[in-house]
Amino acid sequence: MDTLLERFLRYVTFHTRSDATNPACPSSEGQLVFARALCDEMQQMGLSRVTLDEYGYLTACLPGNQPDAPAIGLIAHMDTADYEAAHVVPQIIENYQGGDICLGKGDEVLAIRDYRFLKNYLGQDLITTDGSTLLGADDKAGIAEILSAIDHLLAHPEIPRGDVWIGFTPDEEIGRGADRFPLDRFPAKWAYTVDGGELGELEYENFNAAGATVRFIGNNVHPGTAKGSMINSQTLAARFHAAMPAEQTPEATDGYQGFFHLAQMNGTVEETSLHYIIRDFDDEGFAARKAQLKERVASLQLEAPRARIELTLTDSYRNMRSQIEPHMHIVELAKAAMLAADVTPRIKPIRGGTDGARLSFMGLPCPNLFTGGHNFHGKHEFIPLQSMEKAVATLVALVRLTSAWRAE
């Protein structure tokens, strides 16, 4: 049986970066390759009803030994974010003694001045990148922790448990992870995504999220004869963005504050597009942000009537709090499981989203649990092995405690 560390180090070698430009599901072949490997592993573990469908959704069941216990689900995603993810070469810093950590040849540094929380992990074993890729702890750590917890439950049949359903999804990082989730073969009463950050995180609130594309269509003319006829779409786009509230950006907000984020821009004189993501926890604030964008587009169109300015708004996911609060026992069980594993629960809002947010609105309430990782989606990503071990202990305790829960 692989150790937790061996499992995780094997998983991060799979290249599973999702591709938002590809409408297929999954959006990258590497996710299917990884799913097939996980499918084989789960069959070898002896899990029942192991199923991998054409869309890359992998489900299985660990049958319970308490017939009246509620069935729960544990969910993680197989894809990694839109950042270099090929040829991941992890480093293990054993018994970290403080100070900066050189990544790879030392061109990149995990600097204590930038990440002061490193001091919380003195004496622990940190798994980092080599500075050229992300690590993939988001969310391969979640997958490794779930299957390691299942291994422990299989090795200890005396631990009481209900049915435990396992679900691994593709394309979470591009907002499609729940699109084809097979609820018909996942009969859990509720579930947990194991997709959070540092030790103790427990989340049942997330952003309301939308994407916005503002398209500026101008008129390109030879610059030598352009007076009175050229309409430079890039100039209009620059004016538009300069008028956006600078204090409402990701780099200027935290906690429950929402934002507009200019995620991508591309253009020529003739045509320019600005791609924003919009985030807000509050339903009214979320609606107000979308209305604000519409007003700004209309206003600039009046100022530049010879240009054409188009706005496309697409909702991505909603705040799952409204779907979790009627079932707060699932949050209380998670808190109790953390305490049983000697972990202090840190309840906080997710400044992002998870598959669980969408699944909660599909009838499967689904809070989010920590993996232990930090600095997701970039070359400074790392995860302490001891936090991963605590995640496994939390999941085992969660299954045990849930087996005794009954609806009143």
Is the predicted pLDDT of residue 2 greater than 80, yes or no? no
DSSP string, 258-299: -EEEEEEEEE-SSEEEEEEEEEESSHHHHHHHHHHHHHHHHH
Contact 157, 64 (CB under 8 A): no
**Which DSSP state fits 321?**
H
For residue 241, the model assigns a pLDDT of 98
56: left (phi over 0), alpha (psi -120 to 50) or beta: left
Give the H/E segment covering residue 349: none
Strand partners, 165: 61, 73
Is the per-residue pLDDT at 94 higher than 80?
yes
Statement: residue 3 has pLDDT above 60: yes
- Domain parsing of the chain, residue ranges: 4-205+319-403, 208-317
pLDDT digits (tens, 9 = 90+) for 120-158: 999 999 999 999 999 999 999 999 999 999 999 999 999
DSSP strand pairing (346-347 vs 201-203): parallel
Q: Which residue has the tokens 């448990």?
A: 161
The CA distance from 337 to 198, in Å, is 16
Average pLDDT over residues 155-168: 98
Residue-wise pLDDT tens digits, 34-65: 999 999 999 999 999 999 999 999 999 999 99
User: What strands lie across the sheet with 58-62, from one edge to the other?
Assistant: 48-52, 58-62, 164-169, 72-77, 190-196, 368-370, 201-203, 346-347
Predicted confidence (pLDDT) per residue in 283-313, tens digit: 999 999 999 999 999 999 999 999 999 999 9
Bridge-partner residues for 62, per DSSP?
164
Report CA torsion sign: 37, 152, 341, 68: positive
Kindly report the average pLDDT of the chain as a whole number. Answer: 96
How far is the CA of 136 from the CAs of 11, 94, 240, 332, 392, in angstroms? 9, 19, 36, 29, 18
Contact 77, 195 (CB under 8 A): yes
* Predicted local distance difference test score (pLDDT) of residue 352: 84
Return the pLDDT at 316.
84
Give the pLDDT band of residue 405 (cuts 50, 70, 90).
Answer: very high
Look-up: residue for tokens 């206003």?
299
User: Any idea how long the chain is?
Assistant: 408
In this structure, are residues 330 and 186 in contact, taking their beta carbons and an 8 Å threshold?
Answer: no
Q: How far apart are CA 236 and CA 18, in angstroms?
A: 32
Please report, for the chain, how many H helices and E strands are present, in that order. 9, 17
Q: What percent of the chain has pLDDT over 70?
A: 100
Question: 190 pLDDT exceeds 60?
Answer: yes
Task: Tell which wins on pLDDT, 350 or 17.
Answer: 17
| pLDDT above 90 coverage of the chain, percent | 95
**Rounded average pLDDT over 233-246:** 97
Band of the pLDDT at 317, cuts 50, 70, 90? confident
Which pLDDT does position 1 carry in this prediction? 56
- Region 3-15: what's the mean pLDDT? 97
Question: Cβ contacts of residue 225 below 8 Å, gap of 6+?
Answer: none
Q: Which two tokens stand for residue 331?
A: 């949050």
Query: How do 201-203 and 368-370 pair as beta strands?
Result: antiparallel
- Tokens 């930038």 map to which residue? 114
Q: Which fold has domain 4-205+319-403?
A: Aminopeptidase (3.40.630)
pLDDT of the residue at 204: 96
Beta bridge partners of 262: 276
3-state secondary structure of 389: helix
Rg (CA), the chain: 23
**Tell me: domain 208-317, CATH 3.40.50.800, correct?**
no
Q: Do you find a cis peptide bond into 130, omega within 30 degrees of 0?
A: no
pLDDT of residue 90: 97
Mean pLDDT of 252-257: 94
Contacts of 328 (CB under 8 A, 6+ apart): none
Residues with a known catalytic role: 79, 172
Q: How far apart are CA 285 and CA 330, in angstroms?
A: 28
- State the sign of the Cα–Cα–Cα–Cα dihedral 166, 169, 172, 177: negative
